[in-house]
């Protein structure tokens, strides 16, 4: 089963490394491998969230996500998306943006000799609005999860009070809006505030729109994402697919920005982040679904959402203060790891209780 799920990712990884070697020699091969590892480490919580949605989709839409969705993730989010940001924010033509990406200044300098900013510089300059958009989308996802009352809680001392407070209608919108305003006022340069506010509002609108479209075809509501639909098909499956792609976009930009600390070559970034990293994230998602891991380790979903909440806050903070990508990755791993350990301990307690109940003598008469 493991080989069947991860086989394609392994093949793609080998081919990508070969292409990287042919493209730029041993250095390019090493960089592509490092970027692949970076993407998987940053996106493991994304895989857990993907699995919670994917398991509610029909087999047809699961295949769409694992085929067309991979192409969108590889070429759309890791290659075209950064280029499109440069087109829009810098007012360049698509051809010129591609030229800048493929032909950086000597020594990876931030500017060309004529004073024109490099592709990396233009993309980094667009970070505030992208961080605001992605941060708001992820924050809405997190808040809708923790404000929903549920039978199983992980951090019960915190999740249960938040669920009680969450009975107030539209509380997630209120909290997210306050967070956006505080970010704009306290962390954003004055000349960027309007842009950050607009981008954050767009992130909120996109989340509400996708969630609302999903709820039109629901049979059972689910917090933390579009409405839960068992084996969703047709339009419901499409909206769950759309939700996953927007979620992937919110996650991917942080990885793209982090990749520039390693290399500014878009081809190597596409090979490492896209083909290697995105393929393995997809395989991990499928593995979680096929093995029923989320049902067996019930706190993983909670840990992933807390990791998403932390990532949203980090994205907001990064608008005004640089946050090392290693911190972002470690925070997510810490939440997922803690949730996994808690799930294992919970399962052991339940097994021990079951054994003890079987050992109790049956009353006579």
Could you read off the pLDDT of 285-334 as tens digits, one per residue? Answer: 888 888 888 888 889 889 989 988 998 999 899 898 888 777 777 888 88
pLDDT of the residue at 174: 94
Mean pLDDT calculated for residue range 121-134: 85
Q: Got the DSSP string for 287-306? A: HHHHTTHHHHSTTHHHHHHH
Asked if the model's pLDDT at residue 175 lies above 80, the reply is yes
Of 77, 75, 78, 70, the residue nearest 282 (C-alpha)? 70
CA distance 284 to 182: 36
Q: Comparing 75 with 215, which gets the higher pLDDT?
A: 75
Phi, psi of 109 (to 5 degrees): -65, 150
Q: Comparing 182 with 295, which gets the higher pLDDT?
A: 182
Check if the beta carbon of residue 59 is closer than 8 Å to that of residue 299: no
Highest mean pLDDT among 158-167, 221-230, 272-281: 158-167
pLDDT of the residue at 222: 45
> What does the pLDDT look like over 324-354, one tens digit per residue?
777 777 888 889 889 999 999 999 888 877 7
Of 99, 139, 106, 145, the residue nearest 122 (C-alpha)? 99
Orientation of helix 193-215 relative to helix 127-146, angle to 10°: 40
pLDDT of the residue at 248: 76
Q: Coil, strand, or helix at residue 202?
A: helix
Output DSSP code: residue 363.
Answer: P
CA distance 320 to 185: 10
> Which token pair is 274?
């896209």
pLDDT of the residue at 99: 83
Mean pLDDT calculated for residue range 51-56: 81
Of 227, 237, 252, the residue nearest 63 (C-alpha)? 237
CA distance 46 to 317: 20
Q: How many C-beta neighbours within 10 Å does residue 36 have?
A: 25
Residue owning tokens 């994205």: 315
Surface-to-core class of residue 200, CB atoms within 10 Å of its CB (0-12 exposed, 13-18 middle, 19+ buried): buried
For the chain, give every domain's residue range. 2-104+116-350
Inter-CA distances, 29 with 17, 82, 208, Å: 5, 22, 41
pTM: 0.80
CA distance 69 to 249: 11
CA distance 101 to 76: 15
pLDDT of the residue at 361: 61
> What does the pLDDT look like over 59-109, one tens digit per residue?
788 888 878 887 787 777 777 777 777 777 777 777 888 788 777 777 667
State the pLDDT confidence band at 40, using cuts at 50, 70 and 90: confident
Mean pLDDT calculated for residue range 259-273: 78
Bridge partners, 57 (sequence order): 232
Asked if the model's pLDDT at residue 225 lies above 60, the reply is no
Strand ranges inside the chain, DSSP E: none
Asked if the model's pLDDT at residue 194 lies above 90, the reply is yes
pLDDT of the residue at 270: 82
pLDDT of the residue at 228: 46
pLDDT of the residue at 223: 45
Asked if the model's pLDDT at residue 197 lies above 50, the reply is yes
> Which token pair is 294?
């989320």
How much is the mean pLDDT over the chain? 81
Check if the beta carbon of residue 45 is closer than 8 Å to that of residue 332: yes
CA distance 124 to 168: 38
Asked if the model's pLDDT at residue 365 lies above 60, the reply is no
């Amino acid at each position: 089963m493991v080989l069947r799920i991860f086989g394609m990712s392994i093949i793609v990884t080998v081919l990508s490394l070969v292409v990287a070697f042919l493209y730029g020699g041993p250095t390019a091969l090493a960089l592509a491998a490092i970027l692949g590892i970076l993407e998987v480490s940053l996106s493991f919580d994304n895989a857990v969230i993907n699995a919670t949605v994917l398991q509610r989709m029909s087999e047809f839409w699961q295949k769409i996500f694992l085929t067309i969705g991979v192409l969108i993730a590889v070429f759309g989010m890791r290659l075209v998306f950064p280029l499109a940001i440069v087109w829009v924010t810098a007012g360049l033509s698509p051809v010129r943006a591609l030229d800048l990406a493929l032909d950086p200044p000597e020594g990876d300098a931030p500017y060309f000799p004529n004073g024109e900013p490099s592709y990396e510089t233009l993309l980094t300059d667009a970070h505030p609005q992208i961080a605001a958009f992605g941060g708001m989308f992820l924050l809405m996802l997190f808040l809708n999860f923790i404000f929903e009352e549920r039978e199983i809680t992980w951090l019960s001392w915190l999740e249960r009070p938040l669920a009680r407070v969450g009975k107030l209608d539209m509380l997630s919108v209120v909290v997210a809006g306050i967070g956006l305003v505080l970010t704009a006022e306290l962390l954003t340069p004055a000349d960027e505030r309007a842009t950050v506010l607009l981008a954050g509002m767009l992130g909120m609108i996109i989340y509400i729109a996708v969630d609302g479209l999903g709820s039109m075809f629901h049979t059972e509501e689910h917090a933390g994402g579009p409405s839960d639909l068992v084996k969703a098909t047709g339009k419901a499956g499409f909206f769950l697919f759309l939700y996953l792609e927007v979620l992937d976009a919110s996650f991917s930009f942080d990885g793209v920005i982090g990749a520039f600390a390693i290399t500014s070559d878009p081809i190597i970034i596409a090979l490492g982040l896209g083909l290697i990293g995105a393929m393995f994230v997809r395989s991990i998602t499928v593995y979680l679904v096929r093995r029923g891991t989320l049902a067996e380790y019930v706190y993983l979903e909670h840990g992933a959402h807390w990791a998403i909440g932390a990532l949203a806050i980090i994205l907001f903070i990064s608008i005004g203060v640089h946050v090392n990508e290693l911190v972002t990755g470690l925070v997510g791993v810490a939440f997922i790891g803690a949730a996994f350990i808690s799930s294992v301990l919970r399962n052991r307690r339940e097994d021990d209780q079951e054994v003890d109940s079987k050992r109790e003598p049956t009353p006579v008469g």
